[in-house]
Structure 1
């Protein structure tokens, strides 16, 4: 049980919502184990612009040093940008990236307009756990490996998971992520 720890789920862009892919499964399973889960669809879900997402995370969800963020794709970007200036307990980065990967939607999101402060991102949280698929059609595995190097994350590479449920991929469970979150929360020394 993770008394006092909140798990915040943050979806990706391109029209994703918190009701899609594996988010309902993860919320249901974590709550069944007694964890406090916050799951809200962010404003501007098509473009996923930082100017809306970061203030929403900061001012509405209000994470703190007892908050774990599970971010998918642009949701992971939001968590990492937040950790540049404020404390978190930790972040789970699913299909995360730190570049626009050549996509105009990502380029215009605002997440890549400033250099990343990797030292602050690492300093402001106790752990970063990363999941990436070797066949992700949007984020090359080399980008994931570079993100791992920059963050010092614990990286789990998987096969056949694509972008972990985005677009036409049907992925409504994610037991590997559930297990990793539960294991990490069990080891949190408060």
Structure 2
């Protein structure tokens, strides 16, 4: 299990990451939770090599990515296998933010077919009141990935910035289900060939 925080100075020491790590380790899961280099700007040129060369996930690894952390998981899955990805407040566009636009994650088109093919599942959690990633962007991401989609109310950006959120039982329950039975390959969105 790999936990990846978002940008703008986020870390795995904040929000619900310590809770999730503690609960998963209590279940016997091996959890890698490290603050990535360049945590303010969250640039792909630093994050992807760190994920690939230092953390080294494989086809048995589940990645939980919050916000820009989901971007890193998706870009990794374009070229290498994972067991699955949990995208919390995930997105696939810069959502109109200069910091995101300059991150490098959006410089090339996404290879959604490879992202789906290189993992057995993709799950998404998104709040209808997210102030940074519009709900419509999350719905587009769901259509592109064929994810299992959990829409919540009142969760904002899941603990970022001024919001205090130090537990996340909905995510933990979904992780427990997936760890018990990973399930079939990620589905192909309607109208696309597998």
TM-score when normalising by structure 2: 0.94
Structure 1: any 5+ residue segments left out of the alignment? 1-6
The Cα of 1:188 is off from its aligned counterpart by 2.6
Task: Give every structure 1 segment of 4 or more consecutive aligned residues whose post-TM-superposition deviation is greater than 4 Å.
Answer: none
Specify which of 2, 8, 29 is matched with residue 14 of structure 1. 8
Report Cα offsets for 1:41-81 as digits up to 9, x if no partner. 00000000000000000000000000000000000000000
Counterpart position of 2:86 = 92
Alignment partner, residue 169 of structure 2: 175
C-alpha distance in 1 between matches for 2:163 and 2:103: 23
| CA offset digits 1:76-131 (Å, max 9, x no partner) | 00000000000000000000000000000000000000000000000000000000
Which blocks of at least 5 consecutive residues in structure 2 are unaligned? 184-194
CA contact (8 A) 2:59 2:83 kept: yes
Counterparts of 1:94 and 1:188, CA distance in 2: 18
Q: 2:31 aligns with which of 34, 37, 40?
A: 37
- Matching of residue 156 in structure 1 with residue 156 in structure 2: no
Alignment equivalent of 2:62, drawn from 42, 51, 68: 68
Residue 166 of structure 1 pairs with residue 160 of structure 2: yes
**Partner of residue 96 from structure 2, selected from 94, 102, 105:** 102
Task: State the alpha-carbon separation in 1 of the partners of residues 88 and 108 from structure 2.
Answer: 22
Q: Match for residue 128 of structure 1?
A: 122
C-alpha contact (below 8 Å) 2:92/2:141 kept by paired residues: yes
Say which SS state the counterpart of residue 128 (structure 1) adopts.
Answer: strand
Q: CA RMSD in A?
A: 0.6
The TM-score, its normalising length taken from structure 1, stands at 0.95
SS of the residue 2:87 aligns to: strand
Q: Which residue is equivalent to 2:108?
A: 114
In the alignment, the residues of structure 2 paired with residue 21 and residue 28 of structure 1 have an alpha-carbon distance, to the nearest angstrom, of 13
Q: Paired residues, what number?
A: 183
For residues 13 and 29 of structure 2, what CA distance do their matches in structure 1 show? 18
